Amino acid sequence: MVPAMSVDVSRYLQRLQLDAPPPLTLAGLTLLQQRHNALLPFETLTSLLRDAVAIDLDSVQHKLLHAQRGGYCFELNGAFLALLQALGFDARPLSARVLLSAADGELTARTHLLLRVHLLGEDWLVDTGFGSLTPTVPLRLHETAVQDTPHERYRVQRLEDGDYMLASEAGDDWRPLYRFDLQPPAPIDNEVGNWYVCTHPQSSFPGQLRASLTGPDWRRTIGSGNYTEYRPGQVPAKRPLRDVQDVREVLQQGFGMRLPDDPRLDPAIADWLQRSRAASV
């Protein structure tokens, strides 16, 4: 067996447009998370093509650092975990049950990877892979008060069974995002969760295109056949994606992606657009 390569710290920092590793401080961790969210998009082109998503470090590094792509939680947070550990941060993985589209009381599978970083005597929740609602700064894990970020406001709640739940503010209400405990998942658990997400018939990912990128004062998203840009204090600018060429240009220019040279891509985008339009009628 060929041993897995270690994370390419130099290339990773270059991808994050950093000349040197930041200090092992909260400011350094925040800088890394913000650069990650602004430069490595959440995107599901692999799932759009109905291909299995490889989450081993070698494959993810090639995709993120060399192919100028992004990925979803198992890729983005998996690579970010390897980077943080290589830089000297005390970082560990956690797995979560996504609640965003779940019915009340529904027990969903553990299909989201996130991170716990112990720093300055505190535990911090770090996530770079939850799409359009990804927190953009570390959140205090054991703080029950509302936590402000440059984009949304979040709240970490302790549930009666001992789990934690992350929620984001939505108008006058709170939207549950996911629940988790503090037991780090084994690598095989991530493999199983990832396999469900990218291949299971009841997963919402196969055949779908989603993308999200978040800068200092904006979020850009693709979903349900639309492109939307959010800015604090402004009405979201949302428009339908016109055709395959429009989608390609938005992904390249708005999300900084290098699209794969795959003959299946344009037909898959066209099919997704058609299904998205039919679903919106």
Which amino acid, one-letter code, is at 156? V
At residue 143, what are phi and psi to the nearest 5 degrees?
-95, 120
Q: How far apart are CA 269 and CA 252, in angstroms?
A: 14
Please choose, from the candidates 133, 111, 137, the residue with its C-alpha nearest in 3D space to the C-alpha of residue 193: 111
Q: How far apart are CA 21 and CA 146, in angstroms?
A: 30
Give the alpha-carbon dihedral of 119, 124, 129, 131, to 10 degrees. -140
Question: DSSP letters along 231-243, please?
Answer: -TTS--EEEE--S
Residue 112's H or E segment, with its range, is: strand 110-119
Catalytic residue list: 73, 112, 127
Q: How far apart are CA 215 and CA 113, in angstroms?
A: 22
Residue 157's H or E segment, with its range, is: strand 153-158
- Secondary structure letter of residue 265 according to DSSP: H
Residue 178's H or E segment, with its range, is: strand 173-180
Which amino acid, one-letter code, is at 278? A
The structure tokens 């891509």 sit at 265
